[in-house]
Amino acid sequence: MAAGSWLASLCSGFVSDAFGRKKAIMLGALIWVVGCIIVSASQNIAMLIVGRIINGFCVGICSAQVPVYISELAPPTKRGRLVGAQQWAITWGILIMFYISYGCSSLKGSAAFRIPWALQMIPAIILFFGMMVLPESPRWLASKDRWEECERVLILVHGHGDPNSPWVAREFREIKEWLEIERQSKQISYLTLFTPRYINRTHIGLFTQIWSQLTGMNVMMYYITYVFTMAGLTGSTLLLSSSIQYVINVAMTVPALIWIDRVGRRPTLLAGSILMATWLFVNAAVLGAKGVAVPGGVGGIKEAKVQVTGAASKAVIACSYLFVASYAPTWGPVSWIYPPELGS
């Protein structure tokens, strides 16, 4: 899926600029449905891989365009909160799919994996039809010289139906100024982003997302069962304890939606980095100092190479939860909020 996501992200900007933010996101939703049909009906590994690559195309398009769409529609005073809500929606999706997969794990045969993958189509279908009733980005409309439609969207979104709202006039003026600057500048390509004028913003935008992945959050989410196995948990207790981190992820994203527009992006990222590094260091220290090597792995799981018990076990579990609780209100939402703002 990562391969498909990378490929689609390279062309998602062209699709969005040509056809609009709405249509790009709707296209992504359709692609996701196709991918889910293939993986849920897969008869062999090759078919499964093809389906996941197609799913990745959707991720590449929507991950790039949804934050842009939200930021171009949102009022400036609420932009961070609304773009951050995307991350909150992602955490809900992860939580729900975990419990669906957990519930289906007791099913016999291929239904145990086909049903969860098939159910993934439902949010994409809702997104596709939901986008039909949402307005197009006013900035994209302006870039196509559709000024009347642009103004109508601004009146709807920023003026709440009042054409005399000062917010409408302000946004309309800012869009005009932005468009004039865009048209006066040379045609921008991917190579332009690496010229001296843009390299700093390009670097920050790219590495905000790169470091969000390199914090280890996805590793912690995917492989937490191995960590908890080393901490002595087994069976249903292991799976249910692992699910707590998904609940924490949902709950701890909420504070960011409240404070992010007041505290700022940079302080939030710095605080998250320090806290996450602390919990990872403690976990590594406990596993290194108190862990006992288990030949063949704990419970026959070769990835779980050491085992801790007693207080050390509780410390590993607690620090794993605290790591997620530190990521959720900091790097989680801010890695989506910050990059779209760099071009404005």
For 162, the token pair is 């009042």
Task: Using the 3D structure, point to which of 126, 153, 185 is the last residue of a domain.
Answer: 185
Amino acid 62: pLDDT? 93
| 205 and 344 share one domain | yes
Q: How far apart are CA 127 and CA 25, in angstroms?
A: 8
Q: Residue 45 to residues 40, 58, 115, 269, 283: CA-CA distances in angstroms?
A: 12, 20, 17, 39, 36
Do 180 and 206 lie in a common domain? no
* In-domain check, residue 190: no
* Together in a domain, 174 and 252: no
State pLDDT tens for residues 243-278: 899 999 999 999 988 888 888 889 999 999 999 999
Q: How many residues does the chain have?
A: 344
How many C-beta atoms lie closer than 10 Å to residue 276's C-beta? 22
Considering the domain architecture, whether residues 25 and 78 belong to the same structural domain is answered as yes
Closest Cα partner for 317 from 222, 214, 213, 229? Answer: 229
Would 233 be classed as within a structural domain?
A: yes
Q: What is the DSSP string of 289-310?
A: HH-EE-TT-GGG-TT--EE--H
- What integer pLDDT is reported at residue 28 of this predicted model? 95
| φ/ψ (deg, to 5) at 232 | 100, 5
Do 129 and 162 belong together in one domain?
Answer: no
Show the domain range for 70.
1-134
Tell me which amino acid residue 280 is.
Answer: L
Whose structure tokens read 């809900």?
A: 92
Cα–Cα distance measured from residue 138 to residue 210, given in angstroms and rounded to the nearest whole number: 29
56 within some domain:
yes
- 102 and 3 in a single domain? The answer is yes
Establish if 223 belongs to a structural domain.
Answer: yes
**pLDDT score for 204:** 87
Q: Assess if residue 191 is contained within a domain.
A: no
Distant-in-sequence, close-in-space partners of 105: CB < 8 Å, separation ≥ 6: 112
pLDDT tens digits for 135-155? 999 999 999 999 999 999 999
Same domain membership, residue 235 and residue 120: no
Clarify whether residues 180 and 203 are in a common domain.
no
The terminus-to-terminus CA distance of the chain in angstroms comes to: 30
Residues 206 and 287 in one domain: yes
* Euclidean distance between CA atoms 53 and 285, whole angstroms: 38
Query: Which of 134, 153, 175 finishes a domain?
Result: 134
- Which CATH number goes with the domain that contains 102? 1.20.1250.20
Q: Which residues pair with 306 in a beta bridge?
A: 293
The count of structural domains within the chain is 3
Q: Which residues of the chain have pLDDT under 70?
A: 185-188, 343-344
